[in-house]
Every structure is written in structure tokens, then in C-alpha cells.
Structure 1
Amino acid sequence: MAEVQVLSGVGDKGPACLRVTHPGGCWLLDCGHGPEESAPFRTEWLEGVDAVFISHDHVDHIGGAVHVIAAGLPIYTTAITARALPPGARVSEIPVQGRMRIGGVTLTTGRNGHALGGVWMHFDLGRGLFYSGDWSEESHWFAFDEPPAARTALIDASYHLDPVPQTRRKADLDALLAGLPGQVLLPVPPSGRAGELALHLMGQGSLGLDDTCRDVLAAALGAGPSAGISEAAHALAPLLEHPFDPEARFLLCDTPNAEAGAARALLERAQRAGRLGRDFHVVFTGHMTAHARALAAHPGVHFTRWNVHPPLGDQLALVDRLGVERFVPLFCPLPEDYLVEDRTPARLFFHERVSL
């Protein structure tokens, strides 16, 4: 008998961490921290675990890796995600697209459309167990591979019942930017929205990528298919040949909540000069931590969502395509709200344990 226990990730946007127990061992799927500082990885989640699988390198999926390394556990992840691990990791590389046998279980992976080197995972347990990690099918920067059928699906539902597609998000962003005079800082995760937004903003005004973003995107283009990017992504190559221009109209800078890095430095410089809200604006486009929400109280700081997770229609469509009998909506509040959605025959689970 195999079982999945959701240690963290049901009922909130908390750290991703799921335990899979099967006859061949006990595994963790992701070992996240945050995204809020008040939501740490718990070391007791490692008790009895034989190995850890990491879907991608965002902190709420990889942030507890230091504890995994301290415990001496092997980590299964892609080569690009492994670069974000702390020193001393025992890495067993898994493919971005492919299949391998681990502990008597076949693991199938595919590009998740969300992060550099990021993958979804499918295990041949209980007539198919699918774990999306974070995923998106709307990206022009990242590629998404169609997963195989599964009886049980644990899917990223970070946007809950929000149905708004990326086409509308892009239109809303463009309308906001058109009304903002001067420079606009867009804080981004280098391995996430940086490439997405750079592709979208090319041709709309001068564009500056800070050193961290430029280096990450250049490495992704150099890595080819193993980075999980699309063919369209290569349109960024000419932009990456230029150094960061801090006077550009649009500034794409690390970190995504402007709590550190070039984004924080540029924001603080604008505040000291009295420019914020006058000829310097900040636009957040992703999940906002308490730090970012506090900044949003100031004039000149704005929010408009850029989809990097699936809207409701994509969630339900994937559940149908997988042919699942039951699914767990992860990383969202009030998963019981999905009970009002009658467009899928799958049975909803929002309990911590699911028998496979």
C-alpha cells in the first residue's frame, strides 16, 4: 500500500512538502520554506525519509534543502535546479524530460512551464501519481510538456478559483504601464518571471536587466532544452549582450519582493531622491510577502498579476486530461471551495492523507 501525506501545502500558500510512502521507501516531494518568513521548513518532516525530490528552485519548494543536506539525504532534482542547492548536497540528477527507475518506482518528468530546470513528476504508484510542483501552460518563455494519465493528481492551485487568463493579465499590465511616467521597477525572480516579462516588454521601451537576471537568463539560453525554455525564449539573446542600464525605462531586477538585491537598492535610491510616485514607480507582479505588501501602502507602488500559476480553467482542464479519479488542489486557501466546481468528474480531496 502506498500513501501521500501533505505535510504542508493544503489550505494555504505555505511551504511545499509532501511525503510519499510506498513499499520501496519513504520520500519527500519538495522541501520548501515560506514564502512568508513565518512559515519555515520543519525538520521533523524528514523523520523516516529516504530521499527528497525537488521540483524547482523557488524558495517555497527548495528553501529547506539545508536541513536535507545536514541529514545526509540524497536529493533527486534536475541539473539546473541543483545549482541552487547549498554546498554538500548529495545530488542524483533527474531529466527535465524523461524517465528513470528509482527504488522500484518509475519516475517520469516533464517541463513545468514555471521555472528554469523545473519539472512536474509522475510516479507509477497507485495507477499513477502526478505532482505538478508549480506549473503553467501560458508561458512564452518556459515550455510545458503534457504529462501521462494518472489516477491521483496533486496540482498547483495557487490562484484558487481565479479564472483570468494571461491574455487579460498582459492587457492589464500594459494599461498600467502606459499611465506611469518615468521609470518602472519590476522586481522579479531571475529564474521565473524575469524572462517572461523581458520578452513581453521588448519593444515597449528601453529595458534593463540587473546582473543577476542577465546572468541567469544567459545561462538558460546556453543550456538549451535542459533549461526547460521555449524556442521563443531565444529572442532575448541580443538584449543579454548589454550591461545593466539603471536609467532604462523598465528595470527587471532581483529580488521578487524587493527585500534585497538590485530591486531593493534601486527602490531605496528612488525613495531617498523623492522620486517614488513621481517619476519612479514599482510594479509587483507575483505573490507579495509582508515586506512587499507594506511597500504597497506607499504612493508609486502598484500590483498587477502576471500569471505564473494556472488559472482555474487550466487547472480543471489538466485534471480532465489526466483522467484522474481524485485530485488535491495545493497552495491555495479554502480548497473546499472547489466543491462548487462541477466541471470535472474527479473527486476532490483536501485532507492531509490520500491512499494510492
Structure 2
Amino acid sequence: MSVNIEILSGLGAKGPAAIVVEAQGKRLLLDAGGALHSDDTITWANNLDVDAVLISHDHIDHIAGVAELAENVPLYCTPLVAKALPHNRPWHPLPERGTLEVEGIIVTTGQAGHSLGGVWLHLAVGGGVYYSGDACFESRLFPFDTPPKAVIALLDASYGSYDQPQAHCVQAISEYLYQPLAFPVPETGRALEMALWLAEEADQRQLTLSIDPVIRDNLAALLALPATLRRPGLDHSIRSLLARQNACPPTLMLMCDRSDTPEQWPDHHLLHTGYLTPDRRAELAADQISWQRWNVHLRASHLVALADQLGATQVVPLFTQLANNELNAWHGLLGERLCTAQRLSAHSRLVTLSSLGSFA
């Protein structure tokens, strides 16, 4: 069986995700990412011809390009991710963890450890094609499921060769908590686990706290899912946080990221924990904001461990720079498995699916 893959966007830089897998006479689009910056445009959707679209999760660089696609193209995503689709866009449900057939191709999904409703995707063609979407082993709330074997691995490498553990990040952020802080965060991603952590820190330090109502709603949505779709032992903490009243005025604010600027929050210092736009990089350089990563992507050693578990012979690091030192680092980490081509193919037998377990 022949499989051809074209990475329309997301190779060689942090950018919108859009990958076409062609097999069995069908073309499936994995993710439909939109521009990361308001003044950018996407071109990957121009004259695109696909039979179906599979969406891994609801962050803009993976879903905001759906508006560029014809509405008659079947689109698959989990019910929680469907809330972020354009109004009245038809969709078909992906399981949060399970298997279905899309255009005659067996697709397996599992929890990706990154966001509410987010999944990885495995296509049972050509020895197996695995796409992580955005993934993380270190989430306090979201589990990561062991995927089936795959000869081709399209993996989230947003952090490049960075390999600091989450405990280091949490400790570094805690050192900022001596001052009034505002944390702008993606509402379905790190926001949920940061809410639990900040509630604990606020209690220990006798600080006041406010959690954005949208983030509260998403925590309630997580709690309403089957218990196996979240890490064990946290339900009581989630319920306690949901019952907690927002302080006014708060010392600590966890809020949905709405392109906030320092001028909008004169009484709080903005602390960012993820991707910085060019404007925010300028604010950071001018000491107007602070930044400390909270891990929500695969760090380098975890990416290699995932490639090993998959048994992949071709590994493509996505959403990261692939030049100079970073490229050398990936050569050192992945050796002959490293693939940086925009187009790749595989010829192999159909994979046999194994039952899902917990990898991290």
C-alpha cells in the first residue's frame, strides 16, 4: 500500500498546521490551521482538493483555517472541539479515544495531553501514519495515550531541542508571585491546569485570585467527561475551584488570552507562559511583560521516546525551526530517522492496531 504525505504548512517554523495524507485513492487533511498573527494570511488552502478533514484540537493554529475550506468537505473533530468551528459548520464526531472509518481509512484517536477535547490521530495505512497534533506528557489534567505503531511519525516539536521538565517551569513561575500578576492563556489548554495550581498557591501564600468565567466553564466541561479522560485524583480540587468565588480586586488573575497589552492592565504585571507574537517579543525586550514557559508541548527527550515507542522509521519534527543548530540537534536526537522533506511516502503492509494504554 502506498502512502504519500504533503506538509502544506507547519514544517520548518512555528506556523499553521495543515498536512495532507493520500492513501487508498483518498486525500485526508490533518488539521486546518489559521494564522498565528492577525496581520498574516494563510495560503495552504488555495485550490486544495481533499476528501475529508480531521482536526486534532481547537487552538487557532490548528483549526482557524476551517473557514477557508468548502463546507461540503466532511470534517471530523471531537464534540468539545466542534464548539470552535465556524457557526453552523457541519461536522462528524471523532471519539476522544477510539477508532472509526473515514473515507475507507481506519483512524484511531487518543488523548494528546495538551488541551480540552484534543486528540492525536493515527491512520492505519502504509505501516501506520501517526500525527500528534500538539501533545504533551506532563499535563497535570490531560492524559496522554499510547498510540499504535507507525512507520511515519509527524510530531509536535514546538519547543525544538528544549528539554526542561515541568517542575522547573512551575518553580520559575512561582518566583513571580510576590506581585500582582495577570496570566493571559489559551482557554482550553494550559489554562485549566494552571487554574488548579494558582488556586493552591493563592491559598498557601494568602493571595486573592480570579479565574476567567470561560476557563471555569471549560473546567466544568472537563469534569463532565468520563473520568478516564482526565488524570485521576483531581476531581475534588476541580469542584472546589468551581465553587470558589472570584476575588475583587484579585492579586492573581488567570484570564483568556484576548491579545492583552500592558496598558490594559495597569494594576497587574502580565506574565506569559506560551508562544509570543512579534509584538509580545518586543514588549518582553522592553521589560513591559515577563515570560516563563509552562510546558504544554513535547520536549525533546519525550519526542524521541514517542518516536521509539511508535517504531517510526521516518520522524518529522513539526512547528519548529529546522536550520543551523536546531537541525544539528535533531540529527543528534533522531539520527537516520529524521525527515525534513515537505513530501514523503511509505510502502508497507497495513498495520495491526493494538489496544490503547497509558504512555505517560
Instruction: Flag whether TM exceeds 0.5 (same fold).
Output: yes
- Where does the alignment leave 5 or more consecutive residues of structure 1 unmatched? none
- Please name the residue that 1:136 is paired with: 136
Structure 2 residue matching 1:159: 3-state secondary structure: coil
- Alignment partners' CA distance in 1, 2:323 and 2:337: 13
- Alignment partners' CA distance in 1, 2:173 and 2:44: 40
- Please name the residue that 1:62 is paired with: 63
- Please name the residue that 1:204 is paired with: 201
Q: For 1:236-315, what aligned pairs fall within 5 Å after superposition?
A: 236-255=238-257, 258-259=258-259, 267-271=262-266, 275=267, 280-299=268-287, 301-315=289-303
Structure 1 residue matching 2:176: 3-state secondary structure: helix
Residue type of the alignment partner of 2:72: G
Cα deviation digits, residues 98-123 of structure 1 (max 9, x gap): 01122221111100000101000010
Residue type of the alignment partner of 2:241: L
TM-aligned CA deviation for residue 18 of structure 1: 0.4
TM-aligned CA deviation for residue 88 of structure 1: 2.4
- Alignment partners' CA distance in 1, 2:155 and 2:234: 26
Q: For 1:35-184, what aligned pairs fall within 5 Å after superposition?
A: 35-42=36-43, 44-45=45-46, 47-68=48-69, 70-177=70-177, 180-181=178-179, 183-184=180-181
Give % identity: 36
8 Å contact from structure 1 (residues 110, 144) kept in 2: yes
| 1:185 corresponds to 2:182 | yes
Residue type of the alignment partner of 1:35: L
| 1:230 corresponds to 2:231 | yes
- Where does the alignment leave 5 or more consecutive residues of structure 2 unmatched? 203-207, 347-360
Residue type of the alignment partner of 2:126: G
Structure 2 residue matching 1:320: 3-state secondary structure: helix
8 Å contact from structure 1 (residues 14, 35) kept in 2: yes
Structure 2 residue matching 1:90: 3-state secondary structure: coil
8 Å contact from structure 2 (residues 51, 103) kept in 1: no
Cα deviation digits, residues 45-87 of structure 1 (max 9, x gap): 552211111000000000111122x442111111111111112
The CA RMSD measured in Å over matched residues stands at 2.0
Are the structure 2 counterparts of residues 45 and 99 from structure 1 closer, same or farther at C-alpha, using a change threshold of 3 Å?
A: farther
- Alignment partners' CA distance in 2, 1:322 and 1:339: 23
8 Å contact from structure 2 (residues 71, 90) kept in 1: no
- Alignment partners' CA distance in 2, 1:269 and 1:88: 33
Are the structure 2 counterparts of residues 81 and 312 from structure 1 closer, same or farther at C-alpha, using a change threshold of 3 Å?
A: same
Larger relative contact order (Cα-Cα within 8 Å, sequence gap ≥ 6)? 2
Residue type of the alignment partner of 2:317: P
Q: For this pair of structures, how many residues does the alignment match?
A: 337
Cα deviation digits, residues 284-324 of structure 1 (max 9, x gap): 00001123223334545210111100111111111111111
TM-score normalized by the length of structure 1? 0.88
TM-score normalized by the length of structure 2? 0.87
